[in-house]
Amino acid sequence: MKERIRDGSNLQYNFYKVSCPQAENIVRSAVTDIYFNHRDLHLLFFVSFHDCFIQGCDASLLLEDNGDRNSSYEKQAIPNQTLKGNDKVDLIKEEVEQACPGVVSCADILALAARDSVFLGGGPFYPVLTGRRDSLQSFFQEASDQIPRPDDNITRTLHLFNLRGFNARETVSLLGAHNIGKICCDFIQQRLYDFQGTGQPDPSIPLDFLSQMRQNCPDNNKNNVISNGMFSTFTVSKPMNVHHSNNKGMSYKQALSSAVSSGASFDTHYYQNDGSTFRMDFARVMLKLSNLDVLTGNQGQVRLNCSRVVSS
């Protein structure tokens, strides 16, 4: 098997200009409908990020059937269990398939959809090259071990990004994308009530802010979901049965507190003292991320359904 292309050098601008010239317009129109109907900007972006971070931008995260019923798939890994948006990718794929059957990869659709959703939400526009192919396998263990956790220290976080070719500045820019989306109260529960096992809150949190956060995250409601600018990844307190889909028992809050952005749109509150620089850096690093370790040419395949490999 040929090696993956780390920098996307085999990708092209407007790859489908002959085989499916309307592909990017279909994706953009579908994302626009999804955005204005649901206002869930973060869904497609975080699915794309989690997919690219593990073995590259190959739509491996979308697989639910890799031909081996005894193996776990990437979507089941704990860091991915609270991701939402796979169904939105399926809807976009269906529209593209109606126009151009078996031509446009799920990996390209996801990369384009992530870009368009960020732009619709007020974020910077960045070019997306195309020509990706879809993975033939899923990577459960890698996703379980290598997606950054909300409680990772800076050393581990930088290390995980560095393994994928991102320097410290690029890592900081990507982390800034977490000004959109929602997280579980579990991510901050210990800081609010039992910091480092002391039975007390984190002393670095201002008291007025602590009070507001505790109102939204009471100690007896650990599955409450709030809006914030952090990772929208996984609940660490108690793993759930990943073989049965459900709504994870989560309810939603409008905001963590009045001092925190609602997470409904892309803004610069994460780096509000340097917003314009952040937007430029973010656009550059998203282009780099979208090109990470892609499959091209005769590698992989173009799936007809994003959740299943095409049988040979």
- pLDDT at residue 182, rounded to an integer: 61
Domain 22-147 matches domain 164-285 at the CATH topology level = no
pLDDT score of 247: 36
| Residue 50 falls in the annotated catalytic set | yes
Evaluate whether 121 touches 41 at the Cβ level (below 8 Å). yes
- Listed by start position, the domains of the chain span 22-147, 164-285
Tell me which CATH code domain 164-285 carries.
1.10.420.10
Distance in angstroms (rounded) separating the CA atoms of residues 112 and 18: 18
Structure tokens at 5: 């292309």
pTM: 0.77
pLDDT at 245 (0 to 100): 35
Tell me the pLDDT of the chain (312 aa) as tens digits: 556 777 778 999 999 999 999 999 999 999 999 888 876 666 788 899 999 999 999 999 999 975 566 678 999 998 898 788 888 999 999 999 999 999 999 999 999 999 999 898 888 999 999 999 999 999 999 999 999 887 788 899 999 999 999 999 999 999 877 666 566 677 788 889 988 889 999 998 899 989 988 988 888 544 444 433 333 332 333 333 333 333 333 333 334 444 444 445 555 555 555 767 888 999 999 999 999 999 999 999 999 999 999 986
Cβ burial of 238 (10 Å; 0-12, 13-18, 19+) is exposed
Binding-site residue positions for substrate: 148
Q: Length of the chain, please?
A: 312
pLDDT for res 25:
97
Catalytic residue among 42, 50, 243, 244, which? 50
Q: Which residues contact 55 (CB under 8 A, 6 or more apart)?
A: 4, 135, 139, 142, 293
Determine contact, residues 305/134, Cβ cutoff 8 Å.
Answer: no
The CATH class for the domain spanning 22-147 reads mainly alpha
- Cα separation of 260 and 274, whole Å? 17
